[in-house]
Structure 1
Amino acid sequence: MALLIKRFSSLTPILRCNVNNWSQKCINNSVNIRALHTTDTRCESEGWLSKLLMVRKIDPGRESHSRLLSDTEIVYEMHTHNVKPSSSDTYLNLYEKWTKELQTKNSNAELVGSWSVDIGDQDQFIHVWRYKGWRLASEVENYIKNDSDLTKLSKDLLPHLRSRQNQFMLSFSFWGHPEAQVNNSMYEMRSYVLKPGTMIEWGNNWARGVTYRKNDAVAGFFSQIGQLYVVHHIWKYENLFARKETRESAWRKPGWDECVAYTVPLIVEMRSRWMSPNQFSPIR
C-alpha cells in the first residue's frame, strides 16, 4: 500500500503539468473554438436537433425577408379594438361612421374587412385597412390626426373601448391580396407568434400548404410594425361543421401533414378567433 501511494505521489506533478497545459490551451483557443462551433453547426446539413424539430434550413439570401415574402408595395393595417360589453352596438355604429367619413374624404384608405369576434376574444372587433404603399399609409395617418371630423368621431369612440392596438402588415405573395366578396360566410383568423428568424421557413412551407386549401383562403399577413414575427391567416367557412369537415379533409391530402410538421415547431404562441362579418364589411 505504501509503495502504491509513493508511486502515485511521483505522478502527481506530471498530472498537474498536463492538466495545466491543457487548461492553458483551452483558454488560448477559446475564441477559435467558439467561432468553429458556430461554423460547424451551420455546415451540418441535417443535425440531430434539426431532425428532432423537423425544421428545414432555408437560405434567406441577401434580400430583406419582407422583399422575399411579399412582391408588392401594398401595406395593410389591422385595428384590434376591445370594447366594453355594454357598448358593442354603440361602438359599431360609431366605427361605421368613422369608416365612411375617412373613405369619403381620403381615397387612399380602403377598408378590406371588418369582423366581430364571436368565439375567442369576445367583445373584440377586427378591422383591416389597405394602403398603396408606405408613403400613402403615412399620409393617411397624418390626415386622420388633423381632420376635425375624424378627430371628433375618434374621441366619441374612446368611452366605449377597454383597449385598442394596431399593426402594420404585408400580404404573403403566395396568398394574394384579399378582395371584396360576399360569401354569407363565417371567418376564422388564426394568429401565430413565430420564433424570431423563422419567417422564411414559414413562408416556404405555407407557399405549398395553402394550395391544399385555396378555396377557403381569404388572406395571409405578416407583421411589420407592432408586435413582430406575427402571422395572420384568415379562412372562410359556411359554419362550424363545415370548418370541421374542411380541416379533416385537408389531412387526407398528401403533403398537408408535412406542412404542419415543419411549421408547428416554429410557433411560440397561437390563437384562433371565430368571426362574423359586420354589415359594412366588403368581405362578408
Structure 2
Amino acid sequence: MDWNHSYRTALLNSNDIVTDWTNVGKIHILGVDWRMTATLRMNMTERFQRPEHIVVNKVYASLATGPRQDNGIFYEIRTYDVKPSKMKEFVEVINQHIHLRTAHSELVGFWTVELGAMNKAIHIWKYDNFAHRTAVRAAIANDKDWQGKLSLILTCVEKQHNEVAYLVPWCQLGKPPKEGGVYEWVTFQMKPGGPALWGEAFRAAINTHINTGYTKLIGVFHTEYGLLNRVHVIWWNESPDNRAAGRHKAHEDARVVAAVRESVRFLESQENMLLVPLHCSPLK
C-alpha cells in the first residue's frame, strides 16, 4: 500500500487530523480502521515527521475547516408550496399583513416562482444568531394579530420547507440597481466536502459571471441545516430577455467557459428558477 498517498487521502476524508503518530495503534483510511504493527508505526512516525509532511499536515488541517464567517448572522430560507386555487389569495394576504411579522425580525426578500416551478413562494429571514431566532419565534407565537393572519395564510399552503444558510465569507448581501427587475435563483448541489473542497473553483465561476456585467449578484448562501453541500445563488436581472441575451454572450466568453468547467467537476446537480418579487419584498 502507498501509505504516503493513503495518508493524504485520509486527511481529506476524515475530520480527525492525526499529528502525533507515536501513540497511534490504528488509523482510519478510506473508511477502514487499519491496525499497525510497531515496526510500521515507527516507520510512519519517522516518515511523517519530515518537514515536508509537517507542512502537509498544516495545509490539510486548514482546509478541513475551510473559510468561516466571523459572526453569528444566518438566514432562514422558507419555501411554501401554495395551493393553485389559493395563490392569488396568498399573495394578497402576505402583501397586506406581512408588516405584522416584520415587526419581529428582518425580511430580506419575498418572491413567487414564475419559471422553473409552479405555485411556489420563497422568502428569506435574517437572524443575528440562533438565540435571536428562538426569541423571535416565541414573540410571534404570542402575537395575536399575526397569528390571526397566519391562520389565513396557512389555509393557502400545501407544504412548507425551511433551510438555514450562511452567506459565503467572500460575498456581502447585495441590492439591485433599481426596482422592477426579476430574480434568478440557482441552486447547486455540490459534492460532499464543503467549501474546503469546491469553494475556490465555485468562487471563480461566480466572479467570471459578475465580470460579464449582464447580471447583478445579490447573494451566495451555503446551507447549514437542510440538505448539506447545497449553495443558493441569487442574481438580479433587468428582465428575462436581458438575462437570456447575457447568458448567450457568457457562453462565448472563454474565461467563463474555463471557470465553469473547473467548477462543474464538483457539481452533482443544478436547479434554476425565475422569481418575481412581491410588492412587500424589501428586494424588488
Same fold (TM over 0.5): yes
Q: CA deviation at 1:258?
A: 2.9
Query: Residue 211 of structure 1 corresponds to which residue in structure 2?
Result: 207
- 2:82 is equivalent to residue 83 of structure 1: yes
Q: Where does 1:6-25 land on structure 2 (aligned, <5 Å)?
A: none
Against the structure 1 CA distance between its residues 139 and 40, is the aligned structure 2 distance closer, same or farther, given a 3 Å change threshold? closer
* Amino acid across the alignment from 1:77: E
The one-letter code of the counterpart of 1:117 is V
Q: Secondary structure of the equivalent of 2:218? A: strand
1:276 aligns to what? Answer: 276
Cα offset for 1:252? Answer: 4.4
> 2:270 & 2:205 partners in 1: Cα distance?
18
Shift in alpha-carbon separation, 1:167–1:98, aligned structure 2, 3 A? farther
Picking from 145, 150, 156, the partner of 1:149 is 145
Letter of the 1:79 counterpart: R
Higher alpha-carbon Rg:
1
1:270 to partner: Cα distance: 1.6
Q: How does 1:18-57 map to 2 (within 5 A)?
A: 33=1, 38-39=6-7, 41=9
Partners in 1 of 2:128 and 2:177 — Cα distance?
20
Question: Contact 2:93–2:149 at 8 Å: present in 1 too?
Answer: yes
Counterparts of 1:1-284 in structure 2 under 5 Å? 33=1, 38-39=6-7, 41=9, 59=60, 61=62, 64-65=65-66, 68-104=67-103, 106=104, 109-179=105-175, 182-214=178-210, 216-284=216-284
Matches of 1:260 and 1:117 in 2, distance apart?
26
Tell me the equivalent position of 1:5. none
SS of residue in 1 equivalent to 2:117: coil
Q: Separation in 1 of the partners of 2:82 and 2:9? A: 49
AA matched with 1:238 = E
- What secondary structure, in the 3-state scheme, does the structure 2 residue paired with 1:61 have? helix
Residue equivalent to 1:52: none
The normalised TM-score by structure 2 is 0.73
C-alpha distance in structure 2 between counterparts of 1:180 and 1:255, whole Å: 25
AA at the equivalent of 1:39: Y
How far apart, CA to CA, are the structure 2 residues paired with 1:281 and 1:125? 12
Kindly indicate which of the two structures has a greater share of residues assigned to helix: 1
Offset from partner CA, 1:182-205 (integer Å, 9 cap, x none): 331111100112222143333212
Opposite residue 230 of structure 1, the aligned amino acid is R
Over 3 Å counting, the alpha-carbon distance change for 1:60 and 1:220 in structure 2 is farther
TM-score, structure 1 as length reference: 0.73
Question: Could you tell me whether the CA contact under 8 Å between 1:119 and 1:274 is conserved in 2?
Answer: yes
Letter in 2 for 1:127: H
User: Equivalents in 1 of 2:157, 2:280: separation in Å?
Assistant: 20
**One-letter amino acid of the counterpart of residue 130, structure 2:** W
Distance in 2 separating the partners of 1:63 and 1:42: 11
Runs of 4+ in 1 over 4 A off after TM superposition: 33-37, 40-44
Q: What's the CA shift for 1:135?
A: 2.3
Q: Deviations over 1:101-143 (max 9, x none)?
A: 0222x2xx11111111011111101111111223212221222
Deviation at 1:40, TM superposition (A): 6.2
Q: Give the RMSD, CA atoms, in angstroms.
A: 2.7
The alignment covers a number of residue pairs equal to: 234
- CA displacement at 1:62 relative to structure 2: 6.5
Contact 2:115 2:274 in 1 (8 A): yes
Deviation per CA, 1:137-171: give whole Å up to 9, x if none: 22212222333333332222222111111111100
With over 3 angstroms needed to count, the CA separation of the structure-2 counterparts of 1:62 and 1:191, relative to structure 1, is closer
Q: Counterpart of 2:6 in structure 1: which amino acid? A: T
Distance 1:173-1:37 versus aligned 2 partners, 3 A rule: closer
> How far, CA to CA, are the matches of 2:133 and 2:2 in structure 1?
45
Partner of 1:222, secondary structure, is: strand
